Amino acid sequence: MRYLPRKVPRTLLAGLLALAGAGAVPAAAGAEPDHHAGYVYVDDNTAGHNTIAAFARHADGSLSALPGSPFNAGGAGTGSGLASQGAIQVSRDRRYVIAVDAGSNQISVLRIRHDGSLRLVQDGVVSSGGSTPVSVAAHDGLVYVANAGSADSNYTGFTLSEGGHLRPIADSTVTLPGNAQPGDVLFDATGTNLIGTRVGTSQIDSFSVGSDGRLTAAPGSPFAAQAAGPFGSEFSPTDPRQLFVSNAHAGAVNGTVSAFRVASDGTLSSIGASPFADQQTAPCWVEITHDGQFLFTVNTASGSISRYSIAPDGTLKLLGSTPVSSQAGVGAVDARLSADGQTLYVDESRVASVGEFTVDGGQLTEFGSVSLPAGATPAGVAVR
């Protein structure tokens, strides 16, 4: 079966239309209270019992911790940073948070309540299908996890039910070499292609996704990266045929971002003069504005965020870099945009906080930060 968005039953749709005509459409289940513009979630990756920090996002982009945060993830974190992007995701239907428990080789599913708080789904903690899960990709009812353990590194697939339960897909596991060190796994916007980065061996895996959820490697996959240490990656939100990958291990001030064209079978081809210079050190995490016009990459070793414009053909132009808070500086990691695209939230792992940046086209201005729970060694940021 193809994993398609759920349709609204005709009887329910008719009822909603009737209510709309009467001017009395009820709030959708799970809708945010009026005083919250949305929510932000961070995998705390705490040693022992892992937790998820949850924040309310206000109209001005600022965050405040939700009552009851942090919430129990059910598994265990490692208590040290994860070299990955996408350790936590919000499901496409916005009903669930899916997070890695790298210390217990598990993944957890938590239901998002109407007020943004989280509750662990019954039987919501399952084996990741390997050891040291570091990244999760989700598209409709399909989930893939990247396991980075040296003895059983792989990508493994699951189905996600309407009730939030994960079930392994038989014969879905793609085994990787022990030194591959996957850093990211993600779907394109259509769910028909999946990409994984191998930080350790400087390669990029590319797959087409079958109707049964299993993967077929593209001709030529894994592809040689254009520079050492392909790390974070992101498909263009406006053109799923464009893929951008940060290259983190080329040395001081030699970071780059690669741009690829992705064929329907997953074959990758270089765009323009890719890779494009970053002029910073260790570009790791990648985020793209919702209109597909600008790309940001967090330079972990430089303590900065590089800013690029994206031409219609996928060519990148470096606009400059914005320092991360002097309090955090070196050590900033994952980043995600708010749903309205006006605020970028950056995981400032060194000081266990989330930085808040105003987004104005390709410009960034940090205006504040909010602290993470004691003991957090954060990995990943997700927004709803």
| pLDDT 10s digits, 371-381 | 999 999 999 99
Indicate the range of 29-38, 79-88, 176-185, 215-224 predicted with least confidence. Answer: 29-38
Percentage of the residues of the chain whose pLDDT score is greater than 90: 86
In a domain, 2, yes or no: no
Is 60 exceeded by the pLDDT of residue 10?
Answer: no
Is 90 exceeded by the pLDDT of residue 36?
Answer: no
| pLDDT 10s digits, 147-185 | 999 999 999 999 999 999 999 999 999 999 999 999 999
pLDDT, the chain, mean: 91
Strands 96-101, 268-270: pairing kind: unpaired
DSSP codes, 93-137: TSSEEEEEETTTTEEEEEEEPTTS-EEEEEEEEEE-SSSSEEEEE
In a domain, 15, yes or no: no
| pLDDT 10s digits, 72-87 | 999 999 999 898 999 9
In a domain, 254, yes or no: yes
- Note the helical H segments in the chain: 10-21
Place of tokens 């606009």: 319
* CATH classification at residue 46: 2.130.10.10
In a domain, 18, yes or no: no
In a domain, 38, yes or no: yes
Q: What is the tally of structural domains in the chain?
A: 1
Answer positive or negative: Cα dihedral of 330, 87, 262, 179.
positive
Phi, psi of 16 (to 5 degrees): -65, -40
In a domain, 5, yes or no: no
- Listed in sequence order, the residues at least 6 apart from 377 whose beta carbon sits closer than 8 Å to its beta carbon are 44, 45, 46, 47, 77, 78, 79, 80, 81, 349, 352
Query: Taking the complete model, does pTM exceed 0.85, yes or no?
Result: yes
Round to whole Å and give the CA distance between 131 and 129.
Answer: 7
Q: Taking the CB of residue 52, how many other CB atoms lie within 10 A of it?
A: 26
Query: What's the chain's length in residues?
Result: 384
Residue 237: C-alpha distances to residues 79, 192, 233, 242, 314 (Å)? 33, 14, 12, 9, 12
pLDDT of 19: 39
Place of tokens 């570009």: 283
Is 60 exceeded by the pLDDT of residue 24?
Answer: no
Residue 346: C-alpha distances to residues 55, 295, 313, 325, 370 (Å)? 13, 14, 28, 10, 10
Contact 51, 72 (CB under 8 A): yes
Round to whole Å and give the CA distance between 83 and 89.
Answer: 16
pLDDT of 327: 60
In a domain, 19, yes or no: no
Contact 269, 263 (CB under 8 A): yes
Task: List the structure tokens of 11.
Answer: 């009887």
In a domain, 12, yes or no: no
| pLDDT 10s digits, 325-377 | 766 556 788 999 999 999 999 998 888 899 999 999 999 999 999 999 999 99
172: containing domain = 29-383
